[in-house]
Structure 1
């Protein structure tokens, strides 16, 4: 029992200081664990941390590069769109100019054809008038010859004389017809 009391007395002396053999064994175990952590575990942890840092920084750099590339692509698309709009406007204006030119050409062609048709119509009317005048001269000549023959009582069958008489008579009628409208105009003006 003495030994227990002596142990209790020693323990009571300094409760904070552990016994030396325990301190040596604990320090030795701590140094082994620390050495193991420093040689084996710490390099692996640093390697994983470096990889993670590289991945994060690389991801940020890739994101920035992708963002820059997207901005450049967007700018290219905007430029292409602006070029396409300018080209479309140019094509539209060219089409309008060509349309206006075509319309003007068609109008000119229509005007030319109209004038040709009018000229052809006037020529046809003039030809018809001359033919009608000629036919009327012949008919009036025959009637006048027959009437004159009945009045005179002799036949005026001589064609040369008949033609001269008819022509002279018709020329006098035409002259009177031409003078009549101008004299009517002069009288209307008074």
Structure 2
């Protein structure tokens, strides 16, 4: 409608009038005020937020690297601990085997000592019993000879000598 009025008044509707220029100046003033007053705090907030996000990304990346390093160190430490525990276990087995061998040797030595003492005791008892039997054989043989012959044997020493010769022949 305005265009029609201007056309009737004889003005060119394509040429701007003073209202346009006033509105343009007000728009430019508002734009300038927004540019100088409103936009800087918004840009500052956006930049701060961008910096915070970037810092968080960098911190996450650094934490991931530290975690990977800690994980590697943990794996190395665990491997070292396993190797050391294997060495300790092997050493303990070796010491245990040495202790067992020592106890076996002691037990064997004690058993040998007991067996040897028993053999010596048996040999001594055997000799004692043989001596007693030899002493009794002379008297028994004299008694037997007296019964067989019917007369008393007068020389028991001769019988003892004969029995001694028999025992030497049997022992030799």
CA RMSD for the aligned pairs? 2.5
Determine if the alignment matches structure 1 residue 32 to structure 2 residue 29.
yes
Q: Distance in 2 between matches of 1:43 and 1:121?
A: 112
Change in Cα spacing, 1:19 to 1:176, as seen in structure 2 (3 Å) is same
- Render the CA deviation track for 1:72-110: whole Å, top value 9, x for unaligned: 211221121011111111011101211221222122122
Query: Number of residue pairs matched?
Result: 168
Change in Cα spacing, 1:136 to 1:103, as seen in structure 2 (3 Å) is same
Counterpart position of 2:166: 173
Q: Distance in 1 between matches of 2:97 and 2:56?
A: 60
Bigger shift: 135-144 or 68-77? 135-144
Q: Distance in 2 between matches of 1:29 and 1:11?
A: 28
Counterpart position of 2:8: 9
Structure 1 position 64, deviation (Å): 1.3
Change in Cα spacing, 1:6 to 1:74, as seen in structure 2 (3 Å) is closer
Q: Distance in 2 between matches of 1:104 and 1:172?
A: 52
- From 99, 105, 108, the equivalent of 2:105 is 108
Q: Distance in 1 between matches of 2:64 and 2:37?
A: 40
Counterpart position of 2:55: 58
1:77-88, aligned counterparts within 5 Å? 77-88=74-85
Counterpart position of 1:18: 16
Counterpart position of 2:89: 92
Contact 2:146 2:153 in 1 (8 A): yes
Q: Which structure 1 segments of 5+ residues have no match?
A: 180-190
TM-score, normalised to structure 1's length?
A: 0.76
